[in-house]
Amino acid sequence: MDEKISSMESYWDQVVTVTIEYVPQIATALISAMLTLVIGLWVIKIINRLVRKLFETRDIDLSLRTFLCNLISWSLKIVLFIVVVTQLGIKTSSFVAVLGAAGLAVGLALQGSLSNLAGGVLILTLKPFKVGDYIASSNGVSGTVSYIDIFNTKLNTPQNQLVVVPNGDLSNSSITNYTELGTRRTWFDIGVSYDADLRQAKEILLKVIAENQLVLDDPAPQVVVTALGDSSVNLSVRATTTNDNFWDVNENLIIDCKAALDKAGIEIPFPQRDVHVFDESKK
């Protein structure tokens, strides 16, 4: 009985000794971790505010600005979490290894999304086009840009269809921006007969262009002989106007040019084919 009592007393003595020795250390670690967490969150908040103001002064696109601010905020919070865990005395080497393996697995699973993400960052940073621009890409899509997101870009086609294009594909293709320069140049061919006076035809077409008030004087309009076709001599009509007036000018020039050539008696031929029929029975 005395031995049991002695054993219990020894056990409690050890508990008290351990408590006296480690409780202050645990309390100090907890307090230090809490202070680090509070101060770290406060510093992260200040950094986010400064970064947001910097992006606003640099006039960075809103979508890219939001993405970068969130990315910076979460990265800093992960670093802060690791620091707090270290303050508690937990070894972070294995934790970081597990986190890296998880990141690698997620990266492999989301290769397509990450490609679109990188493409979106490039588009929003380099700005090859903006909302409202009419673009065409080498992968066959075209339309007016209605929205640029981190992962995709939305286009409205002239047929009023919405096309959602992954940014990864769009950033890796050649892009023609029809709006960026503010003006567009009409470029269509009109064929005239081989019997026509080409100089007269050019003068008539240039006069038609000059009478259109929506055509710009600079760069100067042109009518150029481009080819000797199978059934006609092709004249290329080239005139520049603003983006808003492009389609009206293009249509009006085609109508007016045909009317002027018809009035001058200059034929606009169409492809013809002569078919010869032989009667084999008469041979």
d(CA 189, CA 250) in angstroms, rounded, equals 12
Q: Which residue has the higher pLDDT, 5 or 162?
A: 162
Whether pTM exceeds 0.85: no
DSSP for residue 149? -
Q: Are 166 and 114 in contact (CB under 8 A)?
A: no
End-to-end CA distance of the chain: 140
CA dihedral 42, 46, 49, 51 (to 10 degrees): -120
Q: Given this model, what pLDDT does residue 22 score?
A: 55
Q: Given this model, what pLDDT does residue 255 score?
A: 92
Which phi and psi angles does 213 have, rounded to 5°?
Answer: -70, -15
Q: In what order do the strands lie in the sheet with 175-177?
A: 162-166, 152-156, 142-148, 134-137, 175-177
Which phi and psi angles does 279 have, rounded to 5°?
Answer: -95, 105
pLDDT band (50, 70, 90) for residue 274 = low
Q: What is the mean pLDDT of the chain?
A: 79
pLDDT band (50, 70, 90) for residue 82 = confident
Q: Which residue has the higher pLDDT, 56 or 216?
A: 216
Q: Is the dihedral of CA 149, 153, 154, 156 positive or negative?
A: positive
Task: Reply yes or no on whether the pLDDT at 108 is more than 80.
Answer: no
The proportion of the chain whose per-residue pLDDT surpasses 90, expressed as a percent, equals: 10
Q: Which residue has the higher pLDDT, 13 or 113?
A: 113
Task: Reply yes or no on whether the pLDDT at 16 is more than 80.
Answer: no
pLDDT one-digit tens code per residue, 87-102 = 666 666 656 666 666 6
Query: Average pLDDT, stretch 210-218?
Result: 88
**Number of Cβ within a 10 Å radius of residue 151:** 17
Q: Which residue has the higher pLDDT, 251 or 126?
A: 251
